[in-house]
Amino acid sequence: MSSFILRRLLLAIPTLFGVLVVAFLLLYVAPGDPVQSMIGERADSATITRLRAQLHLDDPLPVRFGHYVGSVVRGDLGRSYITNRPITQDIRERFPKTMQLAGAAMLLASFLGISLGILSARNPGGFADRFALGLAYLGISFPVYWVGLLLILLFAVTLHWLPPSGYGGLRFLILPALTLGMRSIAFLARMTRSAMLEALNADFVRTARAKGLTEWTVTVRHALRNAMIPVITVLGLDFGAYLTGSILTETIFSWPGIGRYVVNAISRRDLPAIQGTVLFLSTVFVLVNLITDLAYAKADPRVSYR
């Protein structure tokens, strides 16, 4: 297992280096001047020249890239052009809030999606099956931003049960978590149903029933465990997407996470903030995929990485 983890970490290095190169080149060839975004259009030419020299913007592209790679290797992602704060400090403040939102959405999606999938597989063709599949189709069809606005309109504006946006306790977390996890609930319900239907018709399930085990034991301890491999794949990919791509949800609900931080950095052309955040989120996604691969062996003893 340790050799597999080490091999995967070594393979992640060229991937992350490629992300660094692409992010650097795309941002530096984009139109606009970051110095103008920092100080406005009324700044004098002397100030602009001094800032461009200070930020190495007048250096050749390879030299700028060398400066950036050297800083990243030292653990320095640079300073924000807008706030003049270290990017690592901004990430430390905002990423835990994104983790909180992603964790709540993943728990909600896991419980509802897997439960609907099991209920559907236990009653194929029945009312519960049609109801679960109908919810799954709706969840897949609706875009995230539309779901978020509908939930705000219903629970915040019409019923006044929950706050429409902001960051706080559990009441502030419910709507963005449900919005972020809606598509995962639909995917997990369909994936769990398909895997459970196959597992429930397998020989080992018939053997377990012949031994007199209860339906709960047969379903949860035998069929569900053997159906978890594709479900774990969806969980891992979705959780990585929650941590790296919850931009729309955080923007709609004014959630002060890293997704909203990226949106503000892009709108104000804060190049170091964009580069540092992209590199950090790419690293997070690679680690989540590694954890997902390791979870396969935990869920299915037949999977081995030796």
Higher-confidence residue: 4 or 11?
11
In a domain, 287, yes or no: yes
Contact predicate 140/147, CB 8 Å = no
Structurally, how many domains does the chain consist of? 1
| Res. 27: pLDDT tops 70 | no
In a domain, 31, yes or no: no
Q: Which helix (H) or strand (E) holds 291?
A: helix 271-299
Note the pLDDT tens digit of each residue in 47-67.
777 777 777 777 787 888 888
* Pure H helices in 123-202: 127-141, 144-151, 170-200
In a domain, 281, yes or no: yes
Q: Please report, for the domain that includes residue 247, its CATH number.
A: 1.10.3720.10
Q: Return the minimum-mean-pLDDT range out of 42-46, 93-97, 103-107, 138-142.
A: 42-46
pLDDT band at 14 (very low <50, low <70, confident <90, very high): confident
Chain centroid to Cα 83, Å, comes to 25
In a domain, 47, yes or no: no
Residue 30's pLDDT is 65
* Structure token digits, residue 30: 């984009």
In a domain, 42, yes or no: no
Contact predicate 305/297, CB 8 Å = yes
In a domain, 16, yes or no: no
* Structure token digits, residue 71: 């800083």
In a domain, 44, yes or no: no
Contact predicate 222/204, CB 8 Å = yes
Contact predicate 138/186, CB 8 Å = yes
Residue 266's pLDDT is 81
Distance CA 255, CA 261 (A): 10
In a domain, 201, yes or no: yes
- The strand pairing partners of 86, in sequence order, are 79
Distance CA 182, CA 189 (A): 11
Residue-number span of the structural domain to which 204 is assigned: 87-299
Residue 228's pLDDT is 80
Q: For residue 210, what are the CA distances in angstroms to 120, 206, 207, 219, 252?
A: 23, 6, 5, 14, 53
Q: Rg of the Cα trace of the chain? A: 24
| Res. 89: pLDDT tops 80 | yes
State the average pLDDT over residues 194-216.
82
| Res. 168: pLDDT tops 70 | yes
Q: For residue 177, what are the CA distances in angstroms to 112, 113, 184?
A: 13, 14, 11
Residue 38's pLDDT is 66
pLDDT band at 7 (very low <50, low <70, confident <90, very high): confident
Residue 219's pLDDT is 81
| Res. 83: pLDDT tops 80 | no
Contact predicate 105/187, CB 8 Å = no
Residue 265, number of CB atoms within 10 A of its CB: 24
Note the pLDDT tens digit of each residue in 211-234.
887 877 888 777 887 778 788 888
| Res. 34: pLDDT tops 70 | no
- Sign of the torsion angle spanned by Cα atoms 29, 80, 60, 279: negative
Contact predicate 120/129, CB 8 Å = yes
Note the pLDDT tens digit of each residue in 280-302.
888 888 888 878 777 766 666 56
Contact predicate 277/265, CB 8 Å = yes
State the average pLDDT over residues 177-201.
87
